[in-house]
Structure 1
Amino acid sequence: MAKSVAIDIGIAAEDRQAIAEGLSRLLADTFQLYLKTHGFHWNVTGPQFNTLHTMFMTQYTELWTALDELAERIRSLGHFAPASGGQFGRLTSVREEQGVPNATDMIRQLVEGHEAVARTARAVFPAAEKGGDEATADLLTQRLQIHEKTAWMLRSLLED
């Protein structure tokens, strides 16, 4: 059995716990959105195929990178990151798609997904601020900017 080493990074244990729990929900949302975006990349059809196929690849690649950043921040706070489908399923707020929607519905679902992830990220700020965790606040700000911009870009495809 491994010996636990005390963590003294200037954030109280209970604050680190609350922040890690919020980041775990954000990690789960990000993973669910990654899976959805990658699946849509594989299965998109129609006149916008090339544009969407390429756009979705850019998006799922960015999400994949974010997963590691979020999980490593959780670990930096002294907690284990969720790492199973069951854990992610219990923590996520992003709706899973069981079928293959048409391209327009894919775009709508991804807008909803990015907006959901933005809401989850925003909800972690109070815990980060309470704990004086500037590193997490910075990460959350970066994630918010990406998700809000991506939602806007996807939303623009739905306008006439």
Structure 2
Amino acid sequence: MHMDTGINTEDRAKIVESLSTVLGDAFMLYLKTHNFHWNVTGPMFSTLHVMFEEQYTEQWNALDDIAERIRALGHFAPATSRRYTELSSIKEEPDVLSAKEMIRQLVDGNEILVRTLRAGVKVADELDDFPTADMLTTRMEVHEKNAWMLRSFLEQGAGSMQGDASSE
């Protein structure tokens, strides 16, 4: 069926390509955060377990919004782990890591996703897709905050995380 929302077919395809990359990075970060929630150990277990859960729950809900935006633009959303792995710059972590290394990887993952989101905002802005730009801008704010919160654990001058560093 013909779609006429003010964004032509070619431009919608460009936006969807960008959104698919966002979805791939977002899914891989969700998966990594959930993995670390299950497998974190050490003196900060309780704090990190709860924080990781809050983050992966919020991320899970956002995945639906991104995929539904792709559908609203008239395309099918990528929906396999294989495709997400191809689309994403965030790599799976097969090993069980120290809490400190988990935090480092989640900071990196959130920052990678912020850069992907920023690129997506540029595409959406250039093509006058304001709902997509708005959604991606909101996601950037969430992931910048997540990175900041996680980074604060690594910036402690003293305390349990410093002790964790000596075991690496």
- Is TM (by shorter chain) over 0.5? yes
Query: Are residue 100 (structure 1) and residue 96 (structure 2) matched?
Result: yes
Distance 2:120 2:52 in 1: 27
Paired residue total: 156
Measure, in 1, the Cα distance between the counterparts of 2:124 and 2:134: 10
Partner of 1:77: 73
What TM-score results when the alignment is normalised by the length of structure 2?
0.91
2:128 maps to which of 105, 120, 132 = 132
Tell me the SS of whatever aligns to 2:3: coil
For 2:47 and 2:103, how far apart are their aligned partners in 1? 12
**Unpaired runs of at least 5, structure 2:** 158-168
Superposition deviation, residue 40 in structure 1: 0.4
Q: Which residue of 2 aligns with 1:91?
A: 87
Paired residue for 1:58? Answer: 54
Structure 1, residues 84-134: CA drift from partner, whole Å, max 9, x if none?
Answer: 011111100112111111000000000000000000001112221122100
Give TM-score scaled by structure 1 length: 0.96
Counterpart of 1:46 in structure 2 is: 42
Question: Given residue 97 of structure 2, which amino acid in structure 1 is its aligned partner?
Answer: P
4+ residue runs of structure 1 moved beyond 3 angstroms?
none
Q: Does 1:8 align with 2:4?
A: yes
Other-structure match for 1:123: 119
Counterpart of 2:108 in structure 1 is 112
User: 137, 141, 153: which is aligned to 1:141?
Assistant: 137
1:29-69 deviation line (CA, Å, top 9, x unaligned): 01000010001000000000000000000000000001000
Code of the residue aligned with 1:20 in structure 2: it is: V
- Match of 2:14, SS state, is helix
Q: Is the 8 A contact 1:12 1:131 kept in 2?
A: no
C-alpha contact 1:15 1:127 (8 A) present in aligned 2: no
RMSD: 0.6
The amino acid that maps onto 2:144 is E
- The 8 Å contact of residues 121 and 137 in structure 2, kept in 1 or not, is answered as no
Amino acid at match of 1:18: K
The whole-number CA distance in structure 1 between the counterparts of 2:5 and 2:54 is: 35
Unmatched tracts of structure 1, length 5 or more: none
Distance 2:122 2:22 in 1: 14
Contact 2:34 2:56 in 1 (8 A): yes
Measure the CA separation in 1 of the matches of 2:123 and 2:74: 16
Please say if residues 85 and 91 of structure 2, whose CA atoms lie closer than 8 Å, have aligned partners that are also in contact.
no
| DSSP 3-state at the match of 2:46 | helix
Aligned residue for 1:110, secondary structure, equals: helix
